[in-house]
Amino acid sequence: MSRFSSSFDSREQRGPPIPGLIGSGPAMEKVYALTRKVAESNASVLLLGETGTGKELIAKAVHTLSPRGSGPFVRVNCGALSESLLESELFGHVRGSFTGAIDNRTGRFEAAHTGTVFLDEINSTTPKLQVKLLRVLQEREFERVGDTATIRVDVRVIAASNRDLADEVESERFREDLYYRLNVVPIALPPLRERREDIPELVGYFLNMYNERNDRYVVHIDPRAMQALQDHHWPGNVRELQNYIERSVVMAPGDELTLDLLPENVQGGGGAKGRSPRFKGTDLETLTFELVQQGLTTSSPNETDLHAKIVDRVEKELIVQVLAACDNVQIKAAAKLGINRNTLHKKLKDYGLEDETKE
């Protein structure tokens, strides 16, 4: 039994609407209601939200609550592999189809037969793969790499993107027909800064978890620490919060989570309204002014383009901070960020940070 018993104990809160999901504020209630509703069907689901908002948890919930719940749930991180490797991963290959293909291999779609396949970071796929994915969604069939035999499968597809796919379509980086096949039922996950009322419950949950895992007894929270957590902007969302709570539990000298156990960027708060240290305001006008001052955009930017620039800047800053804390070692930074090492490597390349890190 968990030993965390302060006023922030998640057991004292109203139980989560879906087992395994934490948070019972209005924003998440809408997500839970839609999750339960769509789970009853076989419709494709598109999960939208920033990195760290819990898209995989919702995907698992849709699967578990569906008639396919007893079947396999297969996750594929589309952003972690090159085109050729991802094609083989998704559809399988036959022996001799390419260098290194020494045996036949079953792909993830075939492995997910009668169940659900979750395609994370679907926005990272290439046009060639998007064509093959469209066929699977429309015809429920495909061929393994290097083979001509057609394989039919019965799978439900749940996809996730940390970018607005409608914008990707408009920019011609994502197929419009595939977008509409995936976007039958969209579920938008709110960032943590838009569901601050859930932070105490999440803190309690993670304290329980890491007390158990580390045989610790951190059962009290300094009110100043809780206030700082609620004021922070949370660019890394729930995953970032989880990381900080684990660190605090491990480093706590006693039974209390105090303000000094939190990272400096959290200790300073983000301002009374949770503003981030770099972006001093959260409204579009203020962010536009700051980006113009930095030369990132024109004086009259498109709102969608501006949002993408802001997300990229915050994500880059978070990665830089975590890398610094990990002595620029990629594998450690990836673990703290809660992402695959290959995904981190891709982001480092995108942001021009490759030369500053160590394998």
pLDDT at residue 273 in the model: 39
Question: 39: closest CA among 58, 63, 22, 72?
Answer: 63
Structural domain boundaries, residue 180 = 26-188
Structural domain includes residue 323 = yes
- Please give the residue that has the higher pLDDT: either 205 or 303: 205
Other Cβ atoms closer than 10 A to 348 = 20
Structural domain includes residue 135 = yes
CATH at residue 296: 1.10.10.60
> What pLDDT, in 10s, does the model give residues 177-198?
999 999 999 999 999 999 999 9
Q: Are residues 51 and 173 in the same domain?
A: yes
CATH at residue 253: 1.10.8.60
Structural domain includes residue 351 = yes
Structural domain includes residue 6 = no
> What pLDDT, in 10s, does the model give residues 28-53?
999 999 999 999 999 999 999 998 99
Structural domain includes residue 314 = yes
pLDDT at residue 205 in the model: 94
| Segment 20-35 mean pLDDT | 90
Task: Tell me: pLDDT of 15 over 70.
Answer: no
Q: Are residues 269 and 173 in the same domain?
A: no
Cβ burial of 178 (10 Å; 0-12, 13-18, 19+) is buried
Q: Are residues 40 and 171 in the same domain?
A: yes
Residue type, 290: E
Task: Tell me: pLDDT of 349 over 50.
Answer: yes
Q: Are residues 241 and 166 in the same domain?
A: no
pLDDT at residue 357 in the model: 61
CATH at residue 91: 3.40.50.300
Q: Are residues 75 and 216 in the same domain?
A: no
pTM: 0.70
Q: Are residues 40 and 52 in the same domain?
A: yes
pLDDT at residue 276 in the model: 38
Three-class DSSP category at 299: coil
pLDDT at residue 1 in the model: 40
Structural domain includes residue 142 = yes
Q: Are residues 31 and 111 in the same domain?
A: yes
pLDDT at residue 122 in the model: 93
| Segment 65-77 mean pLDDT | 94
- Please give the residue that has the higher pLDDT: either 172 or 333: 172
Structural domain includes residue 2 = no
DSSP 16: P
Q: What is the number of structural domains in the chain?
A: 3
- Please give the residue that has the higher pLDDT: either 170 or 357: 170
pLDDT at residue 92 in the model: 81
Question: 8: closest CA among 197, 220, 216, 255?
Answer: 220
